[in-house]
Each structure stands twice: as C-alpha cells, then as structure tokens.
Amino acid sequence: MADYPAVLVIGSSCLVFLACAYFTRAPGRRALAALVSGIAIAGLNIAADIVAHNMGWWHYPAVGDRSYGPLHWYVAAAVAVSGLTLIGWRAHRRFGPIGTVVFLVGLAGYGTTRDWLASQVVSGVIAFGPGPVPWIADYLTWFTCAALALLVQAGLRGHPRRDAPRPRLNRHHSG
C-alpha cells in the first residue's frame, strides 16, 4: 500500500473544506462551527472503526491488528466531512428538514461508495467483511457522523437560517 504523507492527506482535505466554505458562501462563524464539528466527526469515526474491527465488519490492513486507522486519516476525514456538511447547512436553509435528510442520505451514499472503491482499488487501505452488514454499518457511520456534525453546528450557531450566506461578489464593473 502506498503510504501517503499526512501533510498530503490533510492538505487535500483542507482544500475540500475551503472549497465548500467558499461555494456555500458560509459566513466565518458558520464555517468555524463546521470545522469544530470535525472533533465530533473524528471521535465518532474512531469509535465506529473500533466497533467495526471488533465485529469483523472492516479493518485497516496497513495498521495490523490495531482496531483503528492512522490518526491523520481521522483528521483528514473530519476536516473534509465538516466542509461537506456546509452543503447540508445550505440544503436545510433552502429546503428545510427534507433538504437535510436528502443531504445526509446522499453523503452517506457517497461515503459508502468511496469506501467500496478504496477497498477495491487501493490495496491495503480498507478491507470489508462478508455480507451486507458491514456495508450497512459503513453507511450508517457516514450518516451518523454527518448528522452529528450538523447537530454540533446547530448547537454552536443555532438554526441554519440564523446565518445568511455571505453576499456574492459583484463581478460587474461600472464606468
């Protein structure tokens, strides 16, 4: 397995976060709340990986018998997913609770698909146990991590409608 340097893994996740913050036009305090929610994401992600390892649902071959992955993977996941949850913030602002549910279902689907691809394409990153249960658990982990992040953001910043998106940049020049 290629061991990607922590700076590359975390750096690419920071780019995801910055792109999400920019394109959702999240105000600074909402973006900061999203970033702080990454702590909850990382904690829940580690706990889920430990449970999954002990249940035989998935494990990380690169770390041997240890029940969780390299710590920089959790930092990277927390930063990237906290950025993606800013899309959930916008979905809730626009479509209400239905928008949040659709976002969570979509993000969990993306995450599970990403994990499947990683297990098939990149040797030694993640290996899943047999049957549907590991995949259901993976999907629920993604769903729950994102839902927890949105709850933390709401706890820190209030209802999604509280923070209006930053104004669009005026690209038209007069004169």
Q: Domain of 80?
A: 6-157
Buried b (16+ CB within 10 A) or exposed e, 110-136: ebbeebeeebeeeeebbebeeeeebbe
By the 10 Å C-beta count (0-12 exposed, 13-18 middle, 19+ buried), 172 is classed as exposed
The two structure tokens encoding residue 100: 């949040």
**7-55 pLDDT, tens digit each:** 999 999 999 999 999 999 999 999 999 999 999 999 999 999 999 999 9
**pLDDT category, 3, cuts 50, 70, 90?**
low
Q: Is residue 12 a part of any domain in this protein? A: yes
Tokens describing residue 2: 């290629």
Predicted pLDDT of residue 168: 82
| Number of domains composing the chain | 1
**Does the residue 74 lie in any domain?**
yes
CA 17 – CA 11 distance, rounded (Å): 10
DSSP 14-62: HHHHHHHHHHHT--HHHHHHHHHHHHHHHHHHHHHHHHHHHHTSEE-GG
The answer to whether residue 166 is domain-embedded is no
Give the DSSP letter of residue 105. H
Give the model's pLDDT for residue 67.
96
Q: Is the dihedral of CA 71, 72, 73, 74 positive or negative?
A: positive
In a domain, 113, yes or no: yes
The amino acid at 60: Y
Give CA–CA dist 119/43, Å, rounded: 22
Angle value at C-alpha 85, between 80 and 90, nearest 5 degrees: 140
In a domain, 168, yes or no: no
Whether 141 maps to a domain, the answer reads: yes
pLDDT, tens digit, for every residue of 15-26?
999 999 999 999
Q: Domain for residue 164, yes or no?
A: no
Q: Is residue 117 part of a domain?
A: yes
Structure confidence by residue, pLDDT tens digits, 78-94: 999 999 999 999 999 99
**Which of the two residues, 132 and 122, has the higher pLDDT score?**
132
